[in-house]
């Protein structure tokens, strides 16, 4: 009896080490790299003033270099820019001894923090102590919930999809099963997110708009994941799992604080930013903000693509017609 071939255990160890190192490189670039290279770059802020003070407003806007992108407007226009999140803060100049720094709780906290620092610094050069005005004030939970809900929606639906693939391995799964998983995740995970929001801050406005947007977010994530899991099996986790780590590192920042490479390659398409910023506006009572409309359209598109991948009919080997043997003439030897 021949001996079983010896397996190259040392080679396996080398492959395992290389894969682990590669995973560390990829995750380092995707997560901590985005935070380590963060720096202000054309952060949009506004300075507003009535006509008699327009010259002073333009003088203020001439400072800041490439770190700031100043816009000079009248007070009403500047506040509209802040409501649409086209700027992260407004420095209001008025006749009198002091300027006013206007911020909004509907803006990403990272952008608000930078805007507050730079506008307060600009106001120090003006007479008087600057005042602070916060539109749509947000509690600590209101600032955390939008990003946390997006990350947990992705993780909860991903675990559900992976468990379904694992339990149904080797079995033929009918169309209603993954559809039930997508809809079930939408209902249950949304309930979990609503429960956390109510637990962390009972004053958060959990209106039908908020509930509907959360349900759309979870079902869109679950459908997209189910589609990829159907195509790739559990190998899809190598793509879907690291995206969970991208949420706090990339979607938690405003693009003007990210390195241009991260801004183009990650922030521009990551689904977390659409769900996070849309939900932030709804929680702060700004349902008509552009981020809500954009987020709803993007999530609806993800839902449609995911359901198409998940429910598209396929033919199993048992459905294929059996090959029929070809008939050949039989030659009979003569006499």
**Three-state SS at 313:** coil
Phi, psi of 128 (to 5 degrees): 85, 165
pLDDT for 263: 86
* Nearby residues of 215 by Cβ (< 8 Å), 6 or more positions away: 186, 187, 190
Q: Which of 189, 127, 137, 131 lies closest to 160 in space, CA to CA?
A: 189
With H, G, I as helix, E, B as strand and everything else as coil, classify residue 304. Answer: helix
DSSP H helical ranges for 105-236: 109-124, 140-167, 176-200, 208-232
List phi, psi (to 5°) of 126. -100, 160
Residue 323, φ and ψ in degrees, nearest 5: -70, 130
Give residue 330's pLDDT.
Answer: 53
Cα R_g (the chain), whole angstroms:
28
As a whole number of angstroms, the distance between CA 116 and CA 120 comes to 6
Task: Give CATH for domain 43-135.
Answer: 3.40.50
Q: CA angle at residue 93 from 122 to 114, to 5 degrees?
A: 35
Q: How many CB atoms lie within 10 A of CB 18?
A: 10
Residue whose C-alpha is closest to residue 16's, from 4, 27, 24: 24
Q: pLDDT value at position 26? A: 81
CA distances from 25 to 21, 88, 240 (A): 6, 33, 17
**Which secondary-structure segment (H or E) carries 65?**
none
| pLDDT tens per residue, range 40-93 | 888 999 998 888 888 888 888 887 778 889 999 888 899 999 988 899 999 998
183 vs 233: CA distance, rounded Å: 20
pLDDT along the chain (335 residues), means of 10: 59 82 84 82 89 84 83 90 91 82 91 89 79 89 92 93 85 75 94 95 92 96 93 88 80 86 85 92 86 94 93 60 52 56
Question: What are the tens digits of pLDDT across the range 252-290?
Answer: 888 888 888 888 888 888 889 999 999 999 998 888 788
Model pTM score: 0.82
Please give the Cα distance from 219 to 189 (Å, whole number): 9
> How far apart are alpha carbons 83 and 81 in whole angstroms?
5
Half-sphere CA count of 88, side-chain side, radius 13 A: 23
Using CA atoms, how far residue 150 sits from 70, 88, 241, 271, in Å, is 31, 22, 14, 9
Dihedral sign, CA of 241, 242, 243, 247? positive
**Domain extents for the chain?**
43-135, 140-313
CB-based contacts of 86, cutoff 8 Å, min separation 6? 44
């Amino acid at each position: 009896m021949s001996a079983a071939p010896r397996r190259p255990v040392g080679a396996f160890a080398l492959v395992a080490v290389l894969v682990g190192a590669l995973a560390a490189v990829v995750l380092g670039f995707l997560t901590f790299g985005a935070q380590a290279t963060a720096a202000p770059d054309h952060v949009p802020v506004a300075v507003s003033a009535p006509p008699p003070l327009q010259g002073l407003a333009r003088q203020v806007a001439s400072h800041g270099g490439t770190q700031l992108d100043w816009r000079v407007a009248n007070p009403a226009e500047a506040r509209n820019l802040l409501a649409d999140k086209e700027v992260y803060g407004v420095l209001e100049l008025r006749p009198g001894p002091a300027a006013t720094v206007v911020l909004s709780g509907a803006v990403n906290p990272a952008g608000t923090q930078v805007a507050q620092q730079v506008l307060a610094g600009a106001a120090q050069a003006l007479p008087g102590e600057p005042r602070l005005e916060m539109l749509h004030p947000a509690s600590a939970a209101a600032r955390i919930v939008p990003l946390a809900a997006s990350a947990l929606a992705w993780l909860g639906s991903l675990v559900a999809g992976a468990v379904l693939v694992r339990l149904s391995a080797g079995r033929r799964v009918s169309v209603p099963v993954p559809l039930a998983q997508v809809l079930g995740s939408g209902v249950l995970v949304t309930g979990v997110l609503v429960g956390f929001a109510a637990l962390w801050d009972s004053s958060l406005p959990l209106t039908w708009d908020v509930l509907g947007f959360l349900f759309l977010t979870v079902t869109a994530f679950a459908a997209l994941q189910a589609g990829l899991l159907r195509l790739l099996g559990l190998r899809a986790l190598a793509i879907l799992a690291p995206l969970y780590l991208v949420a706090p590192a990339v979607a938690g920042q405003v693009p003007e604080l990210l390195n241009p490479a991260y801004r183009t390659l990650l922030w521009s398409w990551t689904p977390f930013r659409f769900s996070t910023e849309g939900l932030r506006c709804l929680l702060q009572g700004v349902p008509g903000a552009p981020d809500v409309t954009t987020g709803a359209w993007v999530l609806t598109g993800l839902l449609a693509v995911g359901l198409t991948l998940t429910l598209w009919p396929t033919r199993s080997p048992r459905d294929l017609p059996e090959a029929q043997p070809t008939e050949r003439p039989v030659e009979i030897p003569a006499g």
